[in-house]
Amino acid sequence: MKPIRYLFSIPMMLSGLSLFAAKELPAYMDESLPMEQRVEDALSRMTTQEKINMIHAQGKFSSPGVPRLGIPDLWMSDGPHGVRAEINWNDWGYSGRTNDSITAFPALTALAATWNPTLSFEYGNALGEEALYREKDVMLGPGVNIYRTPLNGRNFEYMGEDPYLASVLVVPYIKGMQQNGVGASVKHFALNNQELWRGHINVNLSDRALHEIYLPAFKSAVIDGDSWTIMGAYNKIRGQHACHNEMLLNKILKENWGYKGVVMTDWGGAHDTREAALYGLDLEMGSYTNGLTSESEFTTDDYYMARPYLEMLEKGELPMSTLDDKARRMLRLNFLTAMKRNKPLGSVASPEHYAVAEQIGNEAIVLLKNSPVAKGGNPLLPLSPALKSILVVGDNATRDLMKGGGSSELKVKDNVTPLAGLRALYGDKVKYAQGYRAGKPMYSHVEQIPASVQDSLRAEAVAMAKNADVVIMVGGLNKNHQQDCEAGDRESYALPFGQPEFIEALQAANPNLIVLLLSGNAVEMPWADKVPAVAQAWYLGSMAGKSIANVVSGKVNPSGKLPSMLYSKILVEI
């Protein structure tokens, strides 16, 4: 991707400048002038076709600029926790570059558990710097959909169930990112609270629930955070798709909240040209795909806001004012990002970014229980320096939890796993047994692990547990389908892969048991009364192992707060 940008975007801007070198600089290129004056000047110079080109994708993660005027293309990237590896121009395969490894920051549920707006700003700033280095103009995040059920496969991308908490934390994240000239795209607007059937489910609710529960974080992002873009949701709201919903986009967002930014679709979220033209959509991305894996024979010229829109304009079936409004918004975004000249250079996977990720992890871990094993004894945490043998068990102790999950999948430069973090601190005292196997991270289906394999792994771990001073079980969920993963929801509230039975067996073998849950969702814990120490450790990204070791050792006092409720059980499962 990067060579394309160098060959076309920057030289075109420079050639555009050279055309005007001998005469007065056009108003739209003069950054000293008011934004609206620049926008109107550029708009007046554009043809209808150039305006149409600007409001729909030209590839998987790019939309066109105006080459004739030296206005560069826009480049976007998933996601809320890090800059995704480069995707091919127009298919979902990875491009195979060797220079697109990055920092994975903790998932947004972990950030929410810190209750710390200052860390949220540092998170957004660090991610913005990494996006700059990777030459991205818009980052597709943060997500602020409300956590309404622990079965939602995408809860890990959001900021919990409390509208006020999400409203407070989203603003500094946006400001931190956008101070770098990288636009945030707050998503998914709105009511995308389940993944199953997300493309067609119709959400009906009261006005009170809409405004008191589901919209406050978006409202704060717009009014207080000045988010330059917003991404629509896949679902319908009161019978009309969210990406061109008259009530949501025209009435609430643009009229009531006075939004001047860009509304983009989620990939494949547009469904109707007339509604897209009239009801608030500004940028169409990924149409005729599922946003993850599927392809289409249609080209970007066939998008709803491409040739079909142009034809309706030419026939007088739609007013030209609709197109001009969309082009204005795209020009504002371009001037704030791709065309902005005085931006930092950015950086990636730096010590400073690793420090931010580690600090968020330190403050995110929630200590749920810490009781003495024997009456009158000391709690298990922090670990005593006198311990001579520590057994770490569990697939998540060594698993790359940045793989899978959907569009938030990341390619990291460094990954300090929980096992690596504990070994760095305790050395040869630490032994490891896998205990269970979770399978490969895949979309739409699940790898089935033979029972004989699971039984063998469990037996080995339980046998080793009998001889350890303390056992640390690193379990939870992962980014596989039907767990914490886009495009599917959990089918059960219980821990998968036989973990409940495994925990019971470990406790019977050694009562000095600590359970660390790595997940973006709450899980059922029928074993909690028997286990002396339990902590919710979320998905903590590149520096997960360091943060976990900091808390387990007592170097850091666990201070995380739950951003959503832990239910003992749920009565209805999918």
Among 100, 137, 266, 395, the active-site one is 266
Residues sharing a CB contact under 8 Å with residue 67, sequence separation 6 or more, in sequence order: 8, 12
Active site residue 302: no
Which pair of tokens denotes residue 347? Answer: 């950086």
The beta-strand segments (E) located in 334-485 are: 366-370, 390-393, 430-433, 470-476
d(CA 228, CA 332): 9
155 burial level (CB within 10 Å; 0-12, 13-18, 19+):
buried
375 burial level (CB within 10 Å; 0-12, 13-18, 19+):
exposed
d(CA 341, CA 331): 15
| Whole-number Cα distances in Å, 362 to 214, 232, 518, 544, 551 | 29, 33, 14, 9, 7
User: Cβ(469)–Cβ(506) under 8 Å?
Assistant: no
Q: Is the peptide bond before 188 cis (omega within 30 degrees of 0)?
A: yes
Question: HSE of 188 in the Cβ direction (CA atoms, 13 Å)?
Answer: 25
Query: Helices 351-364 and 117-133 meet at what angle, rounded to 10?
Result: 150
User: Cβ(95)–Cβ(1) under 8 Å?
Assistant: yes
Which pair of tokens denotes residue 192? Answer: 């995308």
Phi first, then psi, for residue 221 (nearest 5°) are -60, -35
d(CA 316, CA 293): 37
Question: HSE of 252 in the Cβ direction (CA atoms, 13 Å)?
Answer: 19
Burial per residue of 415-427, b for 16 or more beta-carbon CB atoms within 10 angstroms, e otherwise = bbbbbbbbbebbe
DSSP state of 478: -
Phi first, then psi, for residue 338 (nearest 5°) are -60, -35
Please give the positions annotated as active site.
Answer: 266
